[in-house]
Structure formats: C-alpha cells, structure tokens
Chain A
C-alpha cells in the first residue's frame, strides 16, 4: 500500500480547474517530484493534499485512509506537513517561535530536542534563533520553513518549490538537506520548476502539464527523456 495515493483528483478555484484528474502514488521512504511549468497545477495538487483547497472530485488516500474531506489541522495530525510556496514563515515571530509553532500539535519536552535537531540540520538557524524570521535571507527562510514543517514529525513532507528565488549554491544546499531528510526516514513529495535539481534527489517523478500528468518515470528516466529535456531542462 502506498503511503500517499491520489486517485483522479480534481481541484481548482471557482471556475478555474487547476488540477484535472491527477493520479499518483508515493511509497513510504521515497522522494517523489512533481515537475512542470508555471500554472501547471503543481501547487494546487499539494494544497489539495493538505486540505487547504477542497478537491472537487477524486480521492486522496494516506496510508489507505481517505483524507479527501478532512480539515487541514487533522491532516497535519495524521502526519502530513506542507512547506507552502513562498515559504509562509511567520515574519514577525522569531526563528525559535516559528519552530515552536511547527510543533503546535505536539508539545512536551521532546520538542526542544527537535529544535536542536533542526539546528543541527540547518546551523544557520541556530545563529539566528532569536531573530525575527522576516529579517532572514531567502535561503534562511526556506531552511526555517522546512525545519518548521519537520517539527511536526511528519511521515510525509510536501515541499513546494524550495528553490524559488534562491541562488544556485543555496539551491544545491537545500536539495542536499532534502536528500538527507529523506535518508533519515521522511517521505517527500517535492514540487519544482527546477527540474534538474529535483530529479537528482528524487527516486521517481511525474511531469504535470495543464493539470494532468503527462509523463512518469524514475528520476534518471525522466532526466534522460527527450521531451523532459526539451521542455524543462533547457536542452534542445
């Protein structure tokens, strides 16, 4: 049984149908990426999984349970954390307070250990622990957003465009951490426009176009696929 399964999921905003019948699966322990251009429906797919957008049809199953109609906080409690597009950090709160809120549903003494673990993964955050999050650089904010999502101890991490607005060096650093987080046992569903980096860290990938999945395969297969190369890897 896959950890996450979307079954011909439809979702959108009013008359706009952003996601049109997407089916995909993520096995426990995998990193799976969803690549596609702007407006293809990648973010909407993630928002539908985490309950921020109500799907109009289809199903989301998590560990075989139907979570399609569940409310966002119940989905978090079930074990899915979402790092939203644009990071969505609480700009006026400090780094530590942001991390604390990530563990909102947990509480208890082991939260401090988790904060320490996040600081180990992202040492820059430790230096900035008491700074307000709005004063962080883009890369640091992305680290914070990922760290905050990990505070909920998710079994599935949804990452929406972690490379957005970051320099190539920082992008590389973030993707190394993504790989590391996955190796430590968290399943990841990654949405990216930066297909090269995303495919490097992913076991499998799906290419999404106009709300539908057009190609699927392992990371290497997709990186080698001429259509993917042409459209997303910038090769002719």
Chain B
C-alpha cells in the first residue's frame, strides 16, 4: 500500500514536471503580457508620486508648525501604519478576516522586551534592538503560522470569531505567565535602539526611522502582491474552492498570509517596545485589533495609501483635535454659534471618537464599500478597456 502510494507520488511528480515544464518553470513569475501590463502601470503610477510623498514625509520635522507633540503623534501613526500594512496582507489581499491581530503586535513587543528588559524574569539577553529585528520577524511569523493552522478550515465570520479569541488568549497569557512576562506589572526600562553609540531617542529620529521602515515595508508588500504568492492570495480571496481548482495550494498560501502579516505586526510591536521602553498587557487589548482593522477598512482593503490615510484619520485626528490651537481655532465660531462653547468641540469630538469612528465605518460601508482609497484594481483598468 505504502509502495503504491510512493509510486503514485513519483509518477505524479513526473506528470507535474511535464505539465509545468519542470520546477524551474513553475517557479517563474507570470507570463510576459501580464508583466508588461504591470510594468506599464507601475511606470505611470508609482515612482514620481512615491518619491514626492517620501520627500514630504521626511521633511515634516523641519516644518515650523511641527513640534514635538506633532512628532509624537506621527510616530504613533507610523506604528499603526506598520500594523495596518501587516493586517492588509491578511484581510486585504488574502481576504481572511482576522480580529486578533493584536496577538502579533504583542508577540513582537514582548519578544524584544523579554530578551532585553532588565526587569525580565527569564531569558534576559541584552539583545540589541537592531539585532532583534530578524528575531522578532521570525518569532512573529512562527506565531502567525501557529495561530493560522487551527483556523485553516474556517471562513468568514467563524474565522473572525476564533481569531478574536486568539487575541484575547495572548493577552491573558501575558498577564498570567508571570515567570516570563512579569504579569500585570509589565516589563520596563526596555533599552532604546542603539547602534555604534547612536541611541535612537529623539522624536524626529524615531519619526524618520518609521517613515523609512514604512516605505520599505510598503515596497516589500507591494512586491509580494505582484508575485506568484500575491496572485494566489487574490484567487483565495475571490473564491477559495476555485483557487484550489486552479492548482493553488490554499493551505500553504493562507499560512503564508498569516505568517507575513504576523511578522509585520510583530515588527510594529518591536517599534512600540523600543519607543515607549515599557510594555504591559493592558496595551494589547481587543481595541488595538479593532483600530487596525478599521484603518484597513476605512482606508480601503488591499490599498497601501489607504492604510496611511486610515491611520492618520483614526490615530492622528483624535489627538490633533485635543490641541490648544484647535480649541482656539474652533473658538472663532463662538460668535455665530449660540448656546455652546465651540472651543470645546475638538476635545468633545475626541472623547466621543469611538462614536465618530463607528459612524464613519457605517458611512464608508454604505457610500464607498471599497474604502476611501480603493485598491488599485479593477476600477483603474476599466476605463482603459473602454478606450480600446
């Protein structure tokens, strides 16, 4: 029986070789026509706008209006951009609704904290932040696969509920595995990133590091999407059964989506731990998962600019609304608005932000279900077809 199976496997490999023209061909990216189409699209759409955005983003700390409060908020926005880019792979590309993304954020933050904080009860190794990057990416992707394995057969709402549970399980573990995580007290005095005597501490430096990291990640994620792997994700998102019928190994590519998303989420956690130098379980609640998901959905599922816009709106805006300048600006409306102190509106809006976000989500879903920045397909291509 066993021999029969092996014989069959051998013959099937031979078939596959014949059908696919060998492994080398199978590993090749897609065919020329599509490559040309993509290349044309990238030429026209990407570089100039991207360089412009990068330059503007990098120059922000030099603008006179941008003070330390702004930079602090921008760093926070940057962390959520990283998280959004990670979740976007899982939800936007592969169509797997993950409500427990905070698990990976926490994994990254705690991996570095445990390996570096002087308060760490075990495994303290004085790990340098920069050297922690590959460690955290690896641990993140392993945790992604481990959490992905049991949910492989689940789809849609069932997947959402189980992943939501995973997010909570991780938080409760952090709280209770005291021997590793120091429990509710958390881990403090986490070392800041240091390289050859240069310590990453200044806000503007942090900001620049995050801008560069986001760009590198966005580029990497874009390449993933344009690869064979991205095509497999696309097919799985559209219809998992048919994808399998096209020869897509759905198990492998779903796990890869979880792993890639989790690795990026864990990197976000690493930045978080290095920036705040303190982690405890109360930073890793369900709310983080929901925030990141809202960023992805409001911005536009599968869209990278959408992630940035979503993070600016959901993370940046509530903070800016609480600025004194905002109050002063709003107080200008006082003469025309009776019975209300308009200078308080910003703060009031900020404290009611979850109501506002809820309304925004409803509005986006009703008016623009593809999100503010729809992913660059197929809406981009249709007009071209009519021009033929």
Contacts and interface: CB of A to CB of B under 8 A. Distances in A.
Contacts of A129: 385
A84 B30 contact: no
A50 interface: yes
A136 interface: no
A73 B250 CA distance: 8
A124 interface: no
A97 B241 contact: no
A57 interface: no
B26 A107 contact: yes
B381 A94 contact: yes
B292 to A, nearest CB: 24
- How many A residues touch the partner, as a band? 35 or more
A65 B11 contact: yes
A218 interface: no
A101 interface: yes
B244 A72 contact: yes
A168 B107 CA distance: 60
Contacts, number: 144
Contact of B378 (A77, A94, A107, A115): A94
B244 A152 contact: no
- How many B residues touch the partner, as a band? 35 or more
Secondary structure call for the A interface: loop
Contacts of B378: 92-94, 132
B2 to A, nearest CB: 12
Secondary structure call for the B interface: helix
B246 interface: yes
Given A65-B8, A100-B34, A107-B25, A79 B15 contact: yes
Nearest to A128: B385
Nearest to A152: B247
Contacts of B16: 74, 77-78, 105
A66 B8 contact: yes
Interface in A156-214: none
Task: Please name the 7 residue pairs, one residue from A and one from B, whose CB atoms are nearest each other, closest first.
Answer: A76-B247, A72-B244, A130-B385, A105-B247, A111-B31, A88-B242, A65-B8
Interface of A: 50-52, 63, 65-67, 70-74, 76-79, 81-82, 84, 88-94, 96-97, 100-112, 115, 129-132, 148, 152-153
24 contacts: A52-B245, A66-B4, A66-B5, A67-B8, A71-B244, A72-B245, A77-B19, A79-B15, A84-B241, A96-B34, A100-B31, A100-B34, A100-B231, A101-B234, A102-B246, A107-B29, A111-B30, A112-B31, A115-B33, A129-B385, A130-B381, A130-B385, A152-B19, A153-B19
